[in-house]
Amino acid sequence: MRVGIVGLGLIGGSLALALRARHAVRGYDADRSTREAARAARLDVAERAVELLPADAVVVATPMAAVLPTLADLAPRADGAVLLDVASVRAPVDAFARETGARIVGMHPMAGGSAQGFAAAGAELLRSRPFLVVPTATADAPAMAVAGTLARDAGGVVTVCSGEQHDRIVAAVSAVPLALAAALALAAEEVARGRLADVAGPGLRDATRLALTPEELAVALLSLNAAHVLASLARLRALLDELERAVAEHDDEALRAILRRARETRGRLG
């Protein structure tokens, strides 16, 4: 396929590098130095997003704030190209597709890391990662097939879910963990009185790594998906209540039972 990719950061850059073995990939990034870095990696890079058309598919992998403007730019000129986007919150894209009729499918790789930008991108970032493939109201079977093919060709493992399911899941597996990581880092720093590095081991580092999420993505994950985030936080607080009660009452049996369930659950993630 002829595949365009708008936004060559960590995710878009990794998609470009993963897909070029099997597809004619062309990329674009609003940042000139990113375009130069991508060219240095022998990617075909355009000077404007609309130059990625005509194509069979264009993937929008920009920061959240630029997703709808980019889709609005591409949609009138798409001429049959399937528009894909990696947005971490589906509701705004869903609404856009409904309003404009643009044929859009979400393709959200559950991948990332604390390093950012094209310099950190690589095909291996996406290998064996879950890709949530999410239809909008305008997604037909051929468009879904394109998304599935590209997700698999990028090395991903496809799970299809509705936009509503996606947003509920991402609240629980990305947004709430990020909020907790931030709260944990701040609470630990208070106790360590500015000397956290002197007392923190690998456990706290892992537990707080998501606090490194780039600010714009972090705000989008929490604020644009507020309803699901609040519901997920409420459920988390209920589980914390159970743990807290067991600790306060020295009910080691109850504590053990919760910890055992959690350990088994986490163990299945490998």
Burial class (CB in 10 A: 0-12, 13-18, 19+), 203: exposed
Quick one: 45 or 217, whose CB is closer to a copy of itself? 217
Query: Cα Rg for the chain, rounded, in angstroms?
Result: 20
Report the C-alpha dihedral over residues 96, 102, 105, 107, rounded to 10 degrees: -70
Interhelix angle 252-267/226-248, rounded to 10 degrees, is 140
Minimum CB separation from a copy of itself for residue 73, in Å?
24
Minimum CB separation from a copy of itself for residue 100, in Å?
24
Quick one: 79 or 203, whose CB is closer to a copy of itself? 203
Quick one: 139 or 181, whose CB is closer to a copy of itself? 181
Asked whether the beta carbons of 86 and 107 are under 8 A apart, the reply is yes
Minimum CB separation from a copy of itself for residue 2, in Å?
28
Instruction: Quote the CA–CA distance of 18 and 196 in Å, as a whole number.
Output: 38
φ and ψ of 266, to 5 deg:
-65, -35
Is-cis flag, bond preceding 54, omega within 30? yes
Quick one: 62 or 174, whose CB is closer to a copy of itself? 174
Quick one: 79 or 198, whose CB is closer to a copy of itself? 198
Minimum CB separation from a copy of itself for residue 179, in Å?
5
Quick one: 30 or 110, whose CB is closer to a copy of itself? 110
Minimum CB separation from a copy of itself for residue 149, in Å?
19
Concatenate the DSSP letters of all residues of 34-52 into one string. Answer: HHHHHHHTT-EE-SSGGGG
Minimum CB separation from a copy of itself for residue 4, in Å?
25
Look at strands 130-135 and 104-109 and give their pairing: antiparallel
Quick one: 36 or 241, whose CB is closer to a copy of itself? 241
Minimum CB separation from a copy of itself for residue 166, in Å?
9
B/e letters for 111-128, b = 16+ CB within 10 Å, e = fewer, are bbeeeebbeebebebbee
| Pair of tokens at residue 94 | 């869903």
Quick one: 39 or 162, whose CB is closer to a copy of itself? 162
Minimum CB separation from a copy of itself for residue 94, in Å?
19
Asked whether the beta carbons of 80 and 53 are under 8 A apart, the reply is no
